[in-house]
Amino acid sequence: MIRKISFLFCLFCGYLTMAQVGGESTYQFLNLVSSPRQAALGGKVLTNVDYDVTQALFNPATINEAMDNQLAVNYVSYLGGIGYGSAAYAYTVDRRTQAFHAGITYVNYGAFEGYDENGSQTGNFTGSEAALSLGYALQIGYSDFYFGGNLKLITSKLEQYSSFGVAADLGLLYINDDIDFNAAIAVRNVGTQITTYAGQNEPLPFEVDFGMSQRLENVPIRWHITLENLQEWPIARPNPARVTSDLSGNQSTEKIGFFGQVIRHTILGAELFPEKGFNIRLGYNFRRGEELRINEQRNFSGISAGFSIKLNKMRFSYTHAKYTSAANSNFFGLQIDVKS
């Protein structure tokens, strides 16, 4: 069975040659992080196997019985007045059946003023996108491996143009209870547009991520390492603002070596008191920190920090993520245990 699952992953990784990053594909909102816990740990964590029902939106293999009857609602005050969020819920039918998962992700771009080619105002318009997902996971035989999948229905409306698409996420998870170590790989947004905006089919933001985490034995900390966008190499591009000139006026573009490429795939995170009613979370996204770094200024781009507190059947989470000196994001989340 494990060989069959591995073979399926190899087939889907064949999409690597079609891989896209930001600005080169449609439905980019599918890769936005809306969970405060995810954001605090740097983004795109794949290995939280516990009560966190929102985790399954990024890796369906983490769907488990601890998510049963957990309802989560998240909202993000994003850059430029954009608001987006997500909701998730899981339900276990019986003891022999793994939990089923449902989720929705949405983004509202706000209102815009429209103008024609002559500069005449044509009226205001709006833009919004949403994705509904249904997920399920199962244990592979009696092994320590779990396999899961999400099916996503996507809708997008930008001014008078609209589009509908379908996509799938696949996840493979390894759990070693003896040393409290988890590892996972997720292949996300494998799909296509069913209807296009203007007759031209565009690729979806396909992505391959790998993550590891471990709870330290004598310290109440769980560390996380995520390698994102593994389908894209090289991922870094020279920044035009970092062009240098010598005394003769010759210009040299920024040089990014092998280590610089590797580090831009890396996200680090740590969670203090992960199983307690109150915990603190910290993370650093190297690519965000490097791409938004301003020369000769220390603006702490890429850093994120947050906390969560549990009160009876409710858990409130908050995260502040640093992007630039002028723009940051605040993440709010509420998870409710709706068991009777």
Model pLDDT for residues 61-73, shown as the tens digit of each residue: 999 999 999 999 9
Domain coordinates in residue numbering, the chain:
2-111+121-337
Question: Which long-range contacts link 125-128 to residues 24+ away (Cβ below 8 Å)?
Answer: 125/159, 125/160, 126/157, 126/159, 127/157, 127/158, 127/159, 128/156, 128/157
Q: Are 62 and 56 in contact (CB under 8 A)?
A: yes
Which residues in the chain land under pLDDT 70? 1-23, 240-241, 246-247, 249, 295-298, 340
Token pair of 29, please? Answer: 């909102």
Per-residue pLDDT at 77: 86
Q: What is the third-level CATH fold of 2-111+121-337?
A: Porin (2.40.160)
CB within 8 Å of 207: residues ≥ 6 apart:
19, 31, 187, 188, 189, 228, 229, 231
- Secondary structure E strands in 159-274: 161-176, 181-195, 207-215, 221-227, 244-245, 251-252, 266-272
pLDDT tens per residue, range 103-129: 999 999 988 888 888 888 888 888 999
Per-residue pLDDT at 123: 83
Per-residue pLDDT at 13: 43
Reported pTM: 0.86
Per-residue pLDDT at 340: 67
